[in-house]
């Protein structure tokens, strides 16, 4: 048994599919399947239940995967410590962000980080929240920027900022004439365009719907914020957009109207997370502070009470 075998097993457990697991591990499917078989033979126990329709872990497989993830995480920490021992501001830092934040936050942050830490290589990974958490816990990421709350006693949380939502409506929509700041009640009878399952912004928007009495627009779920924006421009409906996604350098077309809400303004809270045992743990608070240094009035960096 070696670390690579454990990586293959953890990948199968995560993807529940040999092909996708092999792709994630950068090996062929036959190679991965063969190594899993050899691991089962070595341990003398079946780890994976194989069927034409799905992949399921056995009880022993689930227990072994839990421990394998700990081993892989600690192995990553050992590599981090060795890499950072000579110079904590050099090397490669793997940062994960979710898709409705990354394209709008990074242009404000990356140039400053590069200027402050010229020898630090930033490897930026964009995935949905659950995938980022899986990769962070398993050691494939050094740090992740996520929407709160995240409950994991093994992860350190550094609060970054709170970001308001605005209401995006077609310029020809009756709501476009609403005076600002608008009360939340203006969307009570609206059907909002939302993202597909797996996006944390979808969950946040659904919570706003629950509080206001609004509903989701049936028959349509977007894969990105830009798709939502284009659907609003096309006059299909209205949606909620985070403030960073509608602020320079993002250009807003004339066919869309953005409405600010009055207090209490719907918002999302953003934090930075890393493993408590991470070899970067002494350096990452500096990085978190740079992620807070956004243009004045764009976000609120005051920690919640």
> Is residue 132 a contact partner of residue 124, using CB atoms and an 8 Å limit?
no
- Is the domain defined by 88-161+268-292 classed in CATH 3.40.190.10? yes
What would you measure as the largest C-alpha separation in the chain, in angstroms? 70
Least confident of 89-98, 209-218, 254-263: 209-218
Write the CB contacts of 126 (distance below 8 Å, at least 6 apart in sequence): 96, 97, 98, 99, 102
**Where in the chain are all domains bearing CATH 1.10.10.10?**
3-82
Residue 45 has pLDDT above 90, yes or no: yes
Q: How confident is the model at residue 213 (pLDDT cuts 50, 70, 90)?
A: confident
Average pLDDT of the residues in 141-146: 95
Q: What is the pLDDT of residue 89?
A: 75
Residue 84 has pLDDT above 70, yes or no: no
Q: What is the pLDDT of residue 87?
A: 66
Tell if the pTM clears 0.95, that is, is over it.
no
Query: How many other C-beta atoms can be found within 10 angstroms of the C-beta atom of residue 26?
Result: 6
**Where in the chain are all domains bearing CATH 3.40.190.10?**
88-161+268-292, 164-267
Q: What is the pLDDT of residue 214?
A: 84
Q: Which of these CATH numbers, 1.10.287.4070, 2.70.98.30, 1.10.150.530, 1.10.10.10, describes 3-82? A: 1.10.10.10
Cα three-residue angle 227-232-235, rounded to 5 degrees: 130
CATH architecture of 164-267: 3-Layer(aba) Sandwich (3.40)
């Amino acid at each position: 048994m070696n670390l690579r075998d454990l990586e293959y097993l953890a990948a199968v457990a995560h993807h529940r599919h040999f092909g996708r697991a092999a792709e994630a591990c950068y090996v062929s499917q036959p190679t991965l399947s063969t190594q899993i078989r050899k691991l089962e033979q070595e341990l003398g126990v079946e780890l994976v239940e194989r069927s034409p329709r799905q992949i399921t872990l056995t009880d022993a497989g689930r227990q072994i995967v839990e421990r394998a993830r700990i081993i892989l995480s600690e192995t990553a920490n050992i590599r981090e410590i060795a890499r950072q021992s000579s110079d904590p501001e050099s090397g490669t830092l793997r940062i994960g962000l979710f898709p409705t934040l990354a394209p709008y936050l990074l242009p404000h942050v990356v140039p400053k980080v590069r200027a402050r830490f010229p020898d630090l290589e930033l490897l930026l990974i964009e995935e949905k929240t659950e995938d980022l958490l899986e990769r962070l816990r398993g050691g494939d990421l050094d740090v992740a920027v996520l929407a709160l709350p995240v409950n994991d006693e093994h992860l350190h949380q550094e609060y970054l900022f709170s970001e308001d939502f605005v209401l995006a409506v077609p310029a020809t929509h009756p709501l476009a004439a609403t005076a600002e700041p608008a009360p939340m009640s203006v969307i009570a009878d609206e059907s909002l365009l939302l993202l597909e399952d797996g996006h944390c912004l979808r969950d946040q928007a659904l919570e706003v719907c629950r509080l206001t009495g609004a509903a989701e627009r049936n028959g349509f779920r977007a894969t990105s914020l830009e798709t939502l924006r284009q659907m609003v421009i096309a006059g299909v409906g209205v949606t909620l957009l985070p403030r960073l996604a509608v602020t320079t350098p993002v250009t807003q077309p004339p066919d869309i109207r953005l409405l600010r809400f009055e207090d209490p303004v719907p918002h999302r809270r953003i934090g930075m997370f890393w493993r408590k045992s991470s070899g970067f743990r002494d350096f990452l608070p500096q990085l978190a502070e740079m992620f807070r240094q956004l243009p004045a009035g764009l976000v609120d960096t005051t920690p919640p009470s």
